[in-house]
Structure 1
Amino acid sequence: MNALAATSRNFKQAAKLLGLDSKLEKSLLIPFREIKVECTIPKDDGTLASYVGFRVQHDNARGPMKGGIRYHHEVDPDEVNALAQLMTWKTAVANIPYGGAKGGIGCSPGELSISELERLTRVFTQKIHDLIGIHTDVPAPDMGTNSQTMAWILDEYSKFHGYSPAVVTGKPVDLGGSLGRDAATGRGVLFATEALLAEHGKGIAGQRFVIQGFGNVGSWAAQLITEAGGKVIAISDVTGAIKNVNGIDIAQLVKHSAENKGIKGFNGGDAIDPNSLLTEECDVLMPAALGGVINKDNANDIKAKYIIEAANHPTDPEADEILSKKGVLILPDILANSGGVTVSYFEWVQNIQGFMWDEEKVNTELRTYMTRAFGDVKKMCQSHNCDLRMGAFTLGVNRVARATVLRGWEA
């Protein structure tokens, strides 16, 4: 099942539990606006290349639309639509005053030079600048993009609208970015995991973790889990996978990965088949890479007691049913990885106020938001007798539906 079908299925189940009016349900599902643009740039060798860029603005009932921009060769309309919809529910679960959006360009960023990436980013911004804005739609980094990408968008947007640091988040600190933003998603994952384990009388310390993905989210989550006393026993990235039952030295792995552009070859663990990583014996499994990695083909073999969805849509609905029957508890993506967008909100607030917070305040506020969101989800689980995924979806959908009606929606 593709990401859009799975996300829409979860939404419809939540709408049914909430007893939403069918016309309101349909209205909430349809995106506010879909944008598709051609981005033609000169390559460094003088040839021209064209790329297709997307921005799906899903919903703005609760505030400006919000969501990342990813550069990846598999970016397509269905994926961007699904991720935009997920952002709508995610910002509502986090209870921050945003709607949802997502964007992307179908390209392979690793095959483009820095100057080519800059030209592509600036052309994309030129094509969409009049459809984004501080109180309209606020982009952020995602897969294949980073703070430098946001700096280029800010600069290009400002040529048309004047200096506007709040138009994007995830910027360099020197351009109004927030302290603590780099670690925000990984730190939010830690706080959400702590909240889930505390429900069962446990803490991070002593738990065995397996993490799929060692990018920004996975690497920060691994570092923070280790600092909190957890033991990361297996990790993978696009270059390979390693295992050490005594615990991987994450600080050394971070250094190795930076120097070698991946974890392959790290001598602090045994190389294993990346395809077997998800089924390793552990307490907590944390998919922090691509979507759809846990499916009906491998769900029966998963041995973890808890799954923390640090990635977007890593678990297919068919796998959800299998894991639920096995008693595996899944902390859904729209709660587990909402730390990034929450600190993006803090950054936006700082930009609008013209006042910078210290990192301790950012992290303290993040813990408050993540812990409160988990508590709100648990209440919905109890009200509707459902699992954590439906608890999160009913919470998010209900908040957006209420805002829509309050603003004057009529059947």
Structure 2
Amino acid sequence: MSWQEITFGNFAEIQPQVKLEKGTAYSFIEMADVVPHTKNVIPGGKRTWKSSGGSKFENGDTIFARITPCLEHGKTAKVSNLTDSKGFGSTEFFVFRGREGISDPDYIYYLARSPVIREPAIKSMTGASGRQRAQKIVVENTSIRVPEIQEQRHIASILSAYDDLIENNQRRIQLLEQSAQLLYKEWFVHLRFPGHEHVTITDGVPDGWEKNPLGEIADITMGQSPKSIYYNEDGNGLPFHQGVTNFGIRFPSHQKYCTMQNRLAEPGDILFSVRAPVGRINIVPDKIIIGRGLAAIRSRTGQQNFLFYALKNRFFKEDIMGSGAIFAAITKKDLHGVELLQTSDQIAKMFMAHVVPIDLQIEKLHQSNEQLTQARDVLLPRLMNGEISV
């Protein structure tokens, strides 16, 4: 089939009109809700529309981060699951919508993910350092080559098959983690652990248990950021993380690397965000360098899985330990002083016997998603530029 040349602004609607009623609560998507390189986004909640102050969209639209570093990190998603089919979100989104008979909504999403749109958008960024934004007029006037709509749908269906598998695995990961968290709450919050009927509980602490500061039961490495001259995105050195930008459901993805090895986190360490959003947690998949926004935590007793779920339960709400006038943050002293309930070795081993197999399943599903993502990302640019015919 033939491909035609057209500007992106004529191919897709950019910042389309959406009518919202003032004073009405709608689904709201903030930047933190968008997981890099993940197709669908789940609204974090609802907010009241006040007649201005946010990008507006409907189910099926694509939202595209226009601000650094979110654009470079791949924060682009297809909107779904909106209450009443419409909502609003961060002002830092461009919104793209298909034109009837001209462009397929799924194809627009993948086009926005491809270098065809991303690279001109990134090159167009202007503004103060750290707050640079892509220019709408440049994105609108970007010249693209696209096939007829039937072929667009075919291309989108091929790429969607990968994303469907990835998101199915993500749902399985979430269900597995929820089951482990529920078990933790049953045993260590509601104190209905095996044999609880025969144990005396005083002030919420069973006999033989105690509350200890995190600094006494775990080794904690506070991150420290090397100078930016040592950063790269070419894979030189070790992966570098200094915030939650590339955090996933359980494991972070790597985008930035660093050749100056300063503060290190080892595989299996718990990554803990000490700056906004305080308390967000991931697990280190391989050796990384950590910057000042993160801490790495490792159990001194070999009960890393137990410690992970204890921290997840303690920080069930992000910023619960937050302090500071501008950005929520916790100090090294705050983190070392976080009190956690420590069970008996016997109960801890029984809990670990349940959750270690769950965590291994989660790790395998994550590895499967890594492979699916790599395969999809190899295909995506080649399908979008017509190099591979379908």
Bigger radius of gyration: 2
TM-score relative to the length of structure 1: 0.27
Q: Flag the structure with higher strand content.
A: 2
TM-score relative to the length of structure 2: 0.28
Q: Flag the structure with higher helix content.
A: 1
